[in-house]
Amino acid sequence: MAADCVADVLAIAAHRDDVEQTCGGTLLRMAARGLRTAILDLTQGEAGTRGSAEERAQEAVEAAKLLGVGWRQALSLPDGAVENTLENRIQIARVLREVRPRVVILPYWQARHPDHAAAGALGYDACFLAGLRKIDTGAEPHRPFKIVYASLYADVRPSFIVDITPFIEQRHAALMAYRSQYANQAAGGGLFVPEEEIRERTFAEARHYGLLAGVRYGEPFVQKEVGLVDDLTLLPVQSI
């Protein structure tokens, strides 16, 4: 007998606050539809310019509540040195077999931060590994049906957009729960966006992607496989 599913949608990211930036609105929308959502952060955030791992852990709990996420955990992969190794793949496969999601959201596979790019490849390989019966993790094999990539910061045309218009304020609140990262402070002053500009920038990005799909605010995603259409008359997004 297959194990019970803990979540329908699992977002995997390198750092606490990555999910809030790239697909927080989508998790809110899925939760509003009655789907169970979860987050797996791969690192503790110990190498960050701002804040401590302990602070970010507390902030992640608050952010998860704001996102309506029912399950959130963090692994202890080295912050700033995430690698696609067999050991790391097995760690994530163990979580996949526990949570048993139908959909996994990963970071886009090209990124400025090496951890983000590594997390995309690592997550994909772990999804494959989790389905192999001879890989023993103490749980039944499970392979997600769908893998999509959150592409907000990638210079790439999205495969599709999720309308997050009703959830834009709550998404922003979840991001700003990371006060150690986004409140104005001396540390990282030249690297981080001033607190008073964060709202403008994040809303502008969401507005841009929303306009591409004919809605007010959106989050972009890429899928590697082609889509399948049953009825041409039900295709969303007007052409002209």
Residue 138 corresponds to which tokens in the numbers above? 């103490």
Residue type present at position 4:
D
pTM of the model: 0.94
- pLDDT of residue 13 exceeding 50: yes
How would CATH label the architecture of 9-234? 3-Layer(aba) Sandwich (3.40)
Q: Any idea which residue has 């002209």 for tokens?
A: 240
- pLDDT of residue 2 exceeding 50: no
Residue 220 corresponds to which tokens in the numbers above? 């972009």
pLDDT digits (tens, 9 = 90+) for 36-69: 999 999 999 887 777 789 999 999 999 999 999 9
pLDDT digits (tens, 9 = 90+) for 170-217: 999 999 999 998 887 766 566 777 888 999 999 999 999 999 999 999
pLDDT digits (tens, 9 = 90+) for 97-129: 999 999 999 999 999 999 999 999 999 999 999
Cα separation of 129 and 4, whole Å? 19
Cα separation of 131 and 96, whole Å? 9
Domain boundaries, the chain: 9-234
Model pLDDT, residue 55: 94
Model pLDDT, residue 188: 57
Q: How far is CA 216 from CA 28, 74, 102, in A?
A: 16, 33, 28
